[in-house]
Chain A
Amino acid sequence: MGTTVSVTRTSAFDEGGIRDAVFRALDLIGFEPPGPVETVAIKPNLRFYWDYSTGETTDPRVVASVVDYVRERWNARARIAVVEADASAMRTRHAFPMLHFDRLAAEKQIELVNLSDGETCEREVTVGRRKFTFPLPRLLFDTDLFINCPKFKVGPYASGNALHITCSLKNLFGCIAKPRKVGWHPQINEVIVGLSKLIPPHLNVVDGIVALGQRPVRLGLVLAGVDPVAVDSVVARIMRYRPSSVKQIRLAQKEGVGSSHNITVVGEDVKAMSKLFPSRSPLAFKLAWTGQLSMLRLYAKLSGDAVPPLLD
């Protein structure tokens, strides 16, 4: 049995246009919550303190539209929380107000929750032959509906791994309650697949309004789907990557998280959308990073010159 992923587009980059794209995307997949919706957790992607126009973080207007959808379709009085954990170089208590999520919370009467502050539980998971233990927020296990709201973007360089994409699967990395997560970077693919086994989102709504490839691009896209592997596979195709070449998709499929096959795409034409995306070669990206860093280290060693602390 296949799964459906919707792709909608807006050319109006305002609140109305974005809301319309989100509502259409969600209507197209015909998702129904597994039970009564009293509590909802929405997880955007916040990275450092850069706003959505950089293509790095989820647009608060996309989150606002998801909040409206939940209230209009499922429960007008649902208790909704926007959740994010601290990261090595980002503190959620600053990111929420800086990126205007506090304004959203006030307007929509929702909570902002720092996942690093609340009650956590240790959960163990095996991916391949590797075993991982993560401190995870209790809230994510207790909520009736967990909505993943990732950004449509190419992946970062993480300790030798240059990720092809950062989307539904990778966004779960930000659910680990421990702020300093860099220790998990060397096994990033296994880690995010493990997390998607432990805390599978009920729904994924991707913000591709401003997407990030080689540079930010106003795509005006919203994607929605239940299966994070299927959603990421469609995103990969729009980025002009073969889903099977994306390690986290391949691994997630192998681990039974979801499937990149038999996907029914409804809405926009993926091929046409892929022509609009400023694609990035992961190999060139990795070589540029590792090349620069190794050359800098070699240069410093041979010449005796200093390295600014910024580049440590």
Chain B
Amino acid sequence: MTINVGIIGFGKMGKLHLRVCRYMKDAKVVAVADPSPRALRAAQKEGVRALYDDYHDLLRGPDVDAVIITLPNFMHLEATLAAVTAGKHVFVEKPLAMTSADCERIDDAAGRQDVKLMVGHNYRFFDATRKLKAGYDSGAIGDVVLSTFELVHGPLAPSLESAPVPEWYFEREKVGMWLLDLGYHVVDLFRWLFGEAEVVYTRLDNHYGFPYEDNAIVVLQSQAGPKGVLHVGYFAKLVFPAFDFRVILHGTAGCLSTDQFVPRSLRLHAAKEGIANMLRRMTARRIKPLSYTYFYSSYVEEQRHFFDCLRNGKEPAVGARDAFGTIRLIEDVYRCRDGVQSVPAMAS
């Protein structure tokens, strides 16, 4: 049975999810909702027939089984609640909501309905992070004592389509705590690897005259023992396929890093995977979508997981409770700061 999918919000992420969805077995994007006529024209160009300028109309349609919500951060809560209430399965981009309290509201609502809800923590679906976790879980490096999580990006770097960064990105109340955006991933990875944690130290700072902090150092201590230093920044001029992300785990029996699993040259990787896909195509086998981009393939994996959960009645790996845990930890990070001063949170 084909799962009919509606996409709510058709910016870059919406478009990406639509393209990824084309490779999902038994899933098809049948509708798109976005208030922008330009976005709807783009959706039409991608072959979507049912177009709505109000997502409530999309949710009223009986043909849609599941929705993918790719709206700006501040609109996730309302749209997710509406979708869940309408009885639709939901895949929502992170952050699930702007506060942990709102995550609880969504969790409650989803619990009352018989629907699946998954939050897009795509960094958990990177090949490199999965291998790192598998290595750690196997005990190969012993107990981890120290770890480093680094993610530096430039959200303000342009795409090739020469469109300005969306306006909402410059409004703090619409982005939320900045760590809810890019920094979210490394906080979440720490929890994913080591479980619940507390904030030891926070320093938030501005390199640019950004409306909110654009770089942070956070020290976390997990209840299980490992400590982690998180470096997050939104200040780099990185042009695709450049990507500045790594996790390093220092254990009692060795060390593991995502760098060990990421191709040394992403360009060479793209060429190799491209050729491999062409051969697959020529021999009538399934291609591995977006594998040539390396990091974008995580979106394929997470969608595959979501639709697999829908088909087989399984619980998605990242639900509202997980998102709640990550956002609550981020809230603790902000509670631990005083402007841009260094504030140790835990008394020794």
Given A51-B208, A97-B209, is A312 in contact with B287 using a C-beta cutoff of 8 Å?
no
Interface contacts beyond A299-B274, A299-B292: sample of 14 additional A-B pairs, CB < 8 Å, sorted by A: A48-B158, A50-B157, A89-B159, A89-B163, A97-B209, A98-B156, A99-B208, A99-B209, A100-B208, A303-B280, A303-B281, A304-B281, A306-B19, A309-B12
Mask of A293-311 contacts with B, CB within 8 angstroms, 1/0? 0010001001111111111
B22 touches A50 (CB 8 A): no
Asked if A138 lies at the interface with its beta carbon under 8 angstroms from chain B, I say no
Which interface residue of A50, A308, A312 has the most chain B CB atoms within 10 A? A308
Q: Is B15 an interface residue (CB 8 A)?
A: yes
Given the contacts A88-B163, A88-B164, A98 and B20 also touching, CB distance less than 8 Å: no
Cα A56 to Cα B163 with chains together (Å): 18
Q: Hey, what's the 0/1 contact readout for A252-278 against B, CB within 8 Å counting as 1?
A: 000000000000000000000000000
Q: How far is the CA of A304 from the CA of B292 in the complex (A)?
A: 13
Return chain B residues, CB-CB under 8 Å to A48.
156-158, 237
Question: Which among B161, B162, B278, B293 is the interface contact of A302 at CB below 8 angstroms?
Answer: B278
Of residues 219 through 271 on chain B, the ones whose CB sits less than 8 Å from some CB of chain A are: 237, 240
B346 within 8 A of A: no
Whole-angstrom CA separation of A94 from B280 in the bound complex: 46
Give chain A nearest CB distance to B149 CB in angstroms.
24
Residues of A in contact, count (CB < 8 Å): 32
Interchain CA distance A295-B274 in the complex, whole Å: 10
A12 at the interface (CB under 8 A from B): no
8 Å CB contact of B209 from A103, A303, A308: A103
Indicate if the CB atoms of A299 and B278 lie closer than 8 Å: yes
Tier of interface size on chain B? 35 or more
B160 at interface by CB-CB < 8 Å:
yes
Interface status of A54 (Cβ within 8 A of chain B): yes
Does B140 have its Cβ within 8 Å of any Cβ on chain A? no
B277 proximal to A (CB < 8 A): yes
Whole-angstrom CA separation of A304 from B158 in the bound complex: 26
Known contacts: A50-B157, A102-B209. The answer to whether A305 contacts B240 by CB under 8 A is no
A51 to B163, CA, bound (A): 19
> Smallest distance from the beta carbon of B117 to chain A beta carbons, Å?
25
- Binary per-residue interface labels of chain A (93-120) against chain B in the complex, 1 for a CB within 8 Å, 0 otherwise: 0100111101100000000000000000
A312 to B20, Cβ gap below 8 A?
Answer: no
A49 within 8 A of B: yes
Instruction: Please provide the chain B residues from 172 to 208 with a CB less than 8 Å away from any CB of chain A in the complex.
Output: 207-208
Residue of A54, A89, A307 near B158 (CB, 8 A) is A89
Q: Is B32 close to A, CB under 8 A?
A: no
Q: Is A91 part of the binding interface, using a Cβ–Cβ cutoff of 8 Å?
A: yes
What is the interface of chain A, defined by CB distance below 8 A to chain B? 48-51, 54, 56, 88-91, 94, 97-100, 102-103, 180, 182, 295, 299, 302-312
Instruction: State the Cβ distance, B208 to closest chain A Cβ, in Å.
Output: 5
Closest to A157 in B: B160
- Ordered by A's residue number, 7 sampled pairs between the chains whose C-beta atoms are within 8 Å are A295-B274, A299-B292, A303-B274, A303-B281, A306-B23, A310-B12, A312-B160
Give the Cβ gap from B87 to chain A, nearest Cβ, in Å: 30
Q: Report Cα–Cα, A21/B157, bound state, in Å.
A: 31
Give the complex CA separation of A88 and B22 in angstroms. 30
Report B-chain residues with C-beta under 8 Å of the C-beta of A89: 158-159, 162-165
Are A311 and B159 in touch, CB under 8 angstroms?
yes
**Which B positions have Cβ atoms within 8 angstroms of A?**
12, 15-16, 19-20, 22-23, 154, 156-165, 170, 207-210, 237, 240, 274, 277-278, 280-281, 287, 289-290, 292-293, 296
Contacts of B156 in A (CB 8 A): 48-50, 98
Nearest-Cβ distance from residue B238 to partner chain A, whole angstroms: 10
Closest Cβ of chain A: how far from B219's Cβ, in Å? 27
A51 to B22, CA, bound (A): 39
In the complex, chain B residues whose CB is within 8 Å of the CB of A307: 19
By a CB distance below 8 angstroms, the chain B residues around A94 are 165, 170
Q: Which residues of A contact B293 (CB under 8 A)?
A: 308
Q: Are B278 and A303 in contact (CB under 8 A)?
A: yes
Contacts of A182 in B (CB 8 A): 162
Residues of A within 8 A of B22 (CB): 306
Specify which chain B residues have a CB less than 8 angstroms from the CB of A180 in the assembled complex: 162
Which residues of chain A have C-beta atoms less than 8 A from B277's C-beta?
299, 303, 305
Least Cβ–Cβ distance between A55 and chain B, in angstroms: 9
Chain A residue at minimum C-beta to C-beta distance from B157: A48
Cross-chain contact of B164 among A54, A91, A304, A306 (Cβ < 8 A): A91
In angstroms, Cα B239 to Cα A56, docked, is: 13
> B296 near A308 (CB under 8 angstroms)?
yes
| Chain A residues within an 8 Å CB radius of B154 | 50
Cross-chain contact B158 with A305 (CB below 8 angstroms)? no
CA distance A55 to B291 in the complex (A): 32
